[in-house]
Amino acid sequence: MKWLFVFVPLWVYAQDYPARPVDIAEIMDNSAAQEELNRDELYENMLQALSHRLDLNTVTREQLLQFHLLSSAQAEAILNYRAQAEKFYSVYELQTIPEIDHDSFSKMAPFLTVSQDALKPSFLRRVAGEENKYLVMRWDRTMEKQKGYGDPKSPYEGSADRVYWRMRNSHSGDFSIGITGEKDPGEKIKWDGKTKGMDFLSAHFQLQNRGRLKNLIIGDFGAQFGQGLALGTAFGIGKNAEAVNAMRRSNLGFLPFTSRYETGFFRGAAASFRVRKNVSFHALFSRLRRDADSAFASSLAASGLHRSASETAKQKTLEETNAAGVMQFETKNLDVGLTLHATRFGMPVYPNEKLYNQFAFSGKGTPTQAFTSIILFPKRPSSASLRKRSSMATDGRQVL
């Protein structure tokens, strides 16, 4: 008996993500509709990560949470998996983690990759050779004639044009350099002690992952730690509606401020250090001038409009100084943080006596506020079970 073997070669195609064009606006609508977020900044960060995906073997908790696509427990599960399995070999390994459901994996996968180790060029070469740099310019104006614009008797000093521009050069997990300028309708482009050309200018310089220095920002930035009672969201200090709507807030740390929103941010320097394996220290110092009444502050203006003489008189009249430090201890099952934060104003703040603000702050400075947070996570699978599941996913198969 003779046997004849015939071998026929076939092309086999492995799966890859994204399988279809990624619609960032759709992802934001489905994932962040219930949260009060800066959508322009979130869209920009997603677009940046889409062009330069985050490496799963170096990504931090803050980077995983910055898109609001994963919960804190899911981000913690990814980091625990990496710690026990030593490294990722494929993005598909995420599907073997019990906390990562198929919907979360599908949304997050386009922003992630597993890159090969390679020698990086110098910092200046990386900045000069970065492909993800751009200049955005926008002009708009209401076509119909509006009351108060173009009239010699108008209290508004400037034209009805809105002018906005932004330049940025950045690479996820490495660096970010940016500057933003805006003129609102009715404002005038001028050069004086309070205004340098555009009515609003914002700039930042950021470095990440330099040994023990995990994050450094000089310029304008936001901060979010713990439950946000002292340092909450990218809109600066204090508590807002997000702290009430969410049972567990995302600990995002320090983020560059790239919005044209003219209040609610810090201006100075912020840094995050890895003191030990499970211990991190974060610190900030900020000093900027805010809009308020010239004699004493009965309220802090947040509109950012400086169109008339009365509005210009309130521009940058109140100096605000902030200093804060955050000590954080993290293990695979525990997250403990201590936040110390102090604020001081350059002149007294005396809110008008109303029923809703009878307990509002008054005076020149707040005592140092201390907040603690303790978060427990469920026990993770053993290292042996992780490696067994990892071997199922490293060949590019989708595990459902």
Which residues are CB-neighbours of 11 under 8 A, at least 6 positions away? none
Domain boundaries in the chain? Answer: 24-116
CATH node for 24-116: 1.10.150
- State pLDDT tens for residues 182-207: 988 888 887 776 666 778 899 999 99
User: Which runs of E-coded beta strand occur in the chain?
Assistant: 54-55, 112-113, 133-140, 162-171, 175-183, 190-191, 196-197, 200-210, 213-224, 253-256, 266-276, 279-290, 318-330, 334-349, 363-365, 369-376
Q: What is the C-alpha to C-alpha distance for residues 251 and 62, in angstroms, rounded to an integer?
A: 7
Which H helix or E strand runs over 267?
strand 266-276
Q: What is the C-alpha to C-alpha distance for residues 338 and 178, in angstroms, rounded to an integer?
A: 31
Give the global pTM. Answer: 0.69
Residue 209 has pLDDT above 70, yes or no: yes
- State pLDDT tens for residues 261-285: 888 889 999 999 999 888 999 999 9
pLDDT at 245: 43
Reading the block at residue 290, the tokens are 């805010």
- State pLDDT tens for residues 338-359: 888 888 888 887 777 777 777 7
